Each structure stands twice: as C-alpha cells, then as structure tokens.
Amino acid sequence: MKLLEITGGETLSGTIRISGAKNSAVALIPAAILADSESTICNIPEITDIDALCDILDDLGVSVKRSTESVIVDPTNLKNKEIPENLSRKLRASYYFMGALLGKYKKVEMCFPGGCSIGARPIDLHLKGFEALGAKVKVKGNKYTVEAKKLKGAPIYLDIASVGATINIMLAAVKAEGKTTIDNAAKEPEIVNVATFLNSMGAKITGAGTSTIKIVGVEHLKGCFHEVIPDRIEAGTYLIIGALCGKKLKIDNIIPEHLESLTSKLQEIGASLEIGPDYITISKKAGYKGVRVQTATYPGFPTDLQQPFTTLLTQCKGNSKLEETIYENRFMHVPYLVDMGADIVIEGDTLKIKGPTKLQAREVVATDLRAGAALVAAALTAKGTTKITNVEHILRGYERIVEKLKAVGAKIKSLEI
Ligand code: EPZ
C-alpha cells in the first residue's frame, strides 16, 4: 500500500502544469470504440483510471498504443464479449462501455462499475435512456445485459442532470436511427469535449454544454484525432492549495472560464488571483473571511472541489457554511480534518465550519479521491509531518501529484508500506 508523508509549513512557488481532464478522458477512451478505425487522443492524464480502461480495451481485443500523454485506439478487431467484473469494478467510468458497446453492437454485457463510496451512485438514468432508445435491460446479480434489435432515436428527459447518464446516452444514440433529444442534460465541459470528439468522427450532435442535446443518428463513424481538455478539478485543487500556502503559485495550461465558480469564491474569501488566458497565479493572503458555499451542477460550484475547499474554509475567519447537494456521503474527510484541529460540525448535508484553526499533523486515511486531496491540502498547511494512507485513491485522479508538489517546494514523499 502507498503512503504519503507531508511536512507542512512550506511556501509553494513556481508553476504547476495541469494535465488532461480525468472525467473527460475516461469517457473519450470508451467512446473511441464507436469508430470503425483508429483514433488518437492526446493530453491523456497518466493516472490509474486510464490504465484500468486500457485493460478493458485490451480484454475486448482492441489495439491500444500508449505514449506520453496520448493513446491510439484501434477498434478494428474488437470482440464484443462480457466485460469481467475484476476489470469493470476498478472504476465507475467503466459504465461508459455500456453506451459505447450498445451504440455500436446493440449489445453489452458487463458487471456493475466501481467507484468512490461517496454515495449510492445508481445508474437508473443511464438505463432509462438505453430503454428509451429501444434496448432491453436485464440485471442478474451485479451483471447487466443490455441489448436491442434496433436502436431508435427518442426524446429523453433526465430527472437529474447526470454527467454520466448524459454522456452514456450520447454514446448509445450516435448510431441510433433518427433523432434523440436529451432534456435536462448535464452541461459540464467534459460533455462538450466528448461531443466534439464524436462529431469529429462524423456524429451529428448539437447543444452539448446546454441542457438540451440533440443527436441525429449516423451509419458510420471514423477514427480521428482529438485532445482532452485541461482538468478543471485538478486545477481547482492546486488553486486551493495555492490559497493555503502559495506565493505566486502559477497553475498553468487551464481554461479559466471552467473555474469561474471557484475563482469567484476564492476572491470572496479574500484570495489574490491573477487570471491569465490559460493560467491563474495565486498567493496566500492573511485574513481570509468565511463564506457560504453550495455545490451544484455546472456551472455551479463543483462537488469535486467541495472536499479540498472545506480545508481552505477551516483557515477562514468566522463562520462558513458548505452545503453538498449532489452526493449523500461526501464528508468522509471531515473527521480527519477535525482530528487535525479543524472546527467542523456536520448537520445533514451541510458543514458548519469555524475558523481559523491551527492544524496539527496526524496519521490520516484517504477514503476517496477528493477526500484524499482535502487531506493533502491540510497536510501542506499543518504543523509537523502528516502521514496519509490509502493514497491509491488519490493517484486515480491526480497525475504525478508528488512530483508536481515537490517541484514547487512541498516537503512530500511517497512510501510503500
Ligand atoms: C461524474 O460522476 C464525475 N465522474 C464525478 O467525479 C462528479 O462528482 C460527478 O460527475 C458530478 O459532477 C466522472 O465523470 C467519471 P452524476 P457521475 O451522474 O457521472 C445521481 C471525481 O471525483 N444519479 O452527475 O457518476 C448520483 O447518485 C468524481 O472525479 C442517479 O441518481 O455523476 C449523484 O447523486 C466523483 N442516477 C448525482 O446523480 C443515475 O443514473 C450526480 O451524479 C446517475 C446519477
């Protein structure tokens, strides 16, 4: 098992280059099998979620060539067979193979995807979309068989603006006969990145990034070249770390517009930011004031930054209030922050935070990806040396986090125990 050892109190200066977006790349790689020929996707983050997806492609007989930050996917020899549980359980995003295999072969068999324990995370909206397109869904234990004689475009309304369901239905609908409309679609930038990839293959998708997406089915899709957008959640995490212990810390290779909900909150607490065309520079300031935060679907405050932002709120003067509206169990970082000295009370889906409080080093556990990020931020701020175990969760979503932080002055090392 891997462990991170972080000695807090250092000032971080220099440049952190942001990698490709995990939540885009994990959809683009399954989407690539919809084409009849080879695709090249660049700016792929080197994280373990990508390794897991490439293992699934390999198991399906798809040729995968990987080089630094890019992947070449050739689905010519794909054999549409059941995706075994040991592969699909490694990450939640394996469910994108449902939409892709159904969309191309009208049949998919796979076991329920894995993922963080931040909530029940059902996939009922994905399945409702597949059924609307004419598929039959059979569930036996945790194995799903979804198949259709014909996929026919249909109007689909999502009860929740689900990112996964929006993308998965897009994947299933691009080759369906006729027109599909997804209403109350999620608007995240990652969805636009996937729609652009599919359109480059020859799909006919309009409205991605709005709450109504229209798809007209096509016969064939051809492989193409595509680029993953920068990871706004990785960028946001490092901005929060910069607000806690940075001095002219430059977060580079980003799309600042994707981070507006965070940057406006950082300005509200009193952080000083310089926002450039593709970077943001941030320095820690004294006297941050407490604020109210409510997570929401894009362009609202992202739930994926709720946990690291909690750490920052412990350093803000007065009372802060943070409401998590997307997941029912996304506060598992809180007991560890409290053990480090934070004053946080959980009241249902809301955190009441009093600050600033001095944080002390402790031995803590990363319970999920973004909780781990919150603990890294806390350890960089705390007095002493913090040990974080279960860091495999963190490595799923943050490319070379130890190297990136060390390069700007953090005292951090990764150990095997
Ligand atoms: C994506 O998850 C991201 N993961 C999550 O990031 C992110 O937190 C989430 O979107 C919201 O932005 C990937 O893209 C791989 P949802 P997803 O479907 O698609 C409920 C991270 O840290 N729901 O938008 O699974 C669901 O339970 C991860 O990088 C249903 O009820 O999220 C949740 O409460 C964590 N039925 C809410 O909707 C469904 O069929 C939003 O989920 C689908 C979702």
Q: Which atom of ligand 1 is nearest to the CA of 126?
A: 40
Active site residue 116: yes
On the question of pLDDT at 328 being above 60, the answer is yes
In this predicted structure, what is the pLDDT of residue 119? 82
Q: Tokens representing 240?
A: 């929060």
CA–centroid distance, residue 229 to ligand 1 (Å): 19
**18-69, pLDDT tens digit by residue?**
999 999 999 999 999 999 999 999 999 999 999 999 999 999 999 999 998 9
CA–centroid distance, residue 301 to ligand 1 (Å): 14
In this predicted structure, what is the pLDDT of residue 373? 98
**64-117, pLDDT tens digit by residue?**
999 989 999 999 999 999 999 999 998 889 999 999 999 999 999 998 765 557
Mean pLDDT, to the nearest integer, of 381-401?
Answer: 96
Q: Tokens representing 190?
A: 């990652």
Sort 70 into a burial class: Cβ within 10 Å, 0-12 / 13-18 / 19+. Answer: middle
Q: What is the pTM of this model?
A: 0.97
In this predicted structure, what is the pLDDT of residue 117? 78
CA–centroid distance, residue 95 to ligand 1 (Å): 12
In this predicted structure, what is the pLDDT of residue 347? 98
Let me know: does 230 contact 21? Beta carbons within 8 Å. Answer: yes
Query: Which residue is closest in CA terms to ligand 1's atom 39?
Result: 123
CA–centroid distance, residue 160 to ligand 1 (Å): 10
Chain centroid to Cα 318, Å, comes to: 31
Q: Which atom of ligand 1 is nearest to the CA of 123?
A: 40
> Of 92, 96, 160, 188, which is best to mutate to test ligand 1, by the most ligand atoms within 8 angstroms of its C-beta?
160
Please provide the DSSP assignment of 357-409 as one string: ---B--EEE--SHHHHHHHHHHHHHSBSEEEEE-THHHHTTSTTHHHHHHTTT
Average pLDDT over the chain, rounded to an integer: 96
> Of 167, 326, 393, which is best to mutate to test ligand 1, by the most ligand atoms within 8 angstroms of its C-beta?
326
